[in-house]
């Protein structure tokens, strides 16, 4: 089955940029979605279809997707961005939703 690989953790200083990757075989051919999950809370969609942001999500959140890697970038990181981030795709071969293992962002 399709596998998405995320680094377990990323650390960044406030005000800097955080880049979190999501690796998968030819993931550039799929639509990738990203979720933020703060401790004790439900996930929140922050980027969908590789690069789009839902209403209410700051422009500091951006996404890209090419080849075998999708990337979520958070510019000018704030303390409130500290959370777990998950990438997700729909695998058309298995008709399954696939989540990456998640990346813990520490600010």
Min dist. Cβ of residue 98 to other proteins (A): 7
Q: Which is nearer to other proteins, 2 or 69 (CB)?
A: 2
Integer Cα distance of 5 and 46 in angstroms: 19
Residue pair 7/72 in contact (Cβ under 8 Å)? The answer is: no
Min dist. Cβ of residue 3 to other proteins (A): 13
User: What are the φ/ψ torsions at residue 29 (nearest 5 degrees)?
Assistant: -90, 5
Q: Which is nearer to other proteins, 54 or 67 (CB)?
A: 54
In the chain, the DSSP E strands lie at 9-11, 18-23, 33-37, 44-47, 61-66, 69-74, 83-91, 96-99, 103-106
Q: Which is nearer to other proteins, 33 or 82 (CB)?
A: 33
User: What are the φ/ψ torsions at residue 42 (nearest 5 degrees)?
Assistant: -75, 155
Q: Which is nearer to other proteins, 37 or 75 (CB)?
A: 37
User: Applying CB under 8 A, which residues contact other proteins?
Assistant: 1, 31, 33, 35, 37, 41-45, 48-49, 54, 84, 86, 88-90, 95-102
Min dist. Cβ of residue 60 to other proteins (A): 20
Min dist. Cβ of residue 67 to other proteins (A): 19
């Amino acid at each position: 089955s399709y596998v998405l690989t995320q680094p377990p953790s990323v650390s960044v200083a406030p005000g800097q940029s955080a880049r979190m990757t999501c690796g998968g075989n030819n993931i550039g051919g799929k639509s990738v979605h990203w979720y933020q999950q703060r401790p004790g809370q439900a996930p929140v969609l922050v980027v969908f279809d590789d690069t789009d942001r839902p209403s209410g999500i700051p422009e500091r959140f951006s996404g890209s997707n090419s080849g075998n890697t999708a990337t979520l970038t958070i510019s000018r990181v704030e303390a409130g961005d500290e959370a777990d981030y998950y990438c997700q795709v729909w695998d058309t071969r298995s008709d399954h939703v696939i989540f990456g293992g998640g990346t813990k962002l520490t600010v």
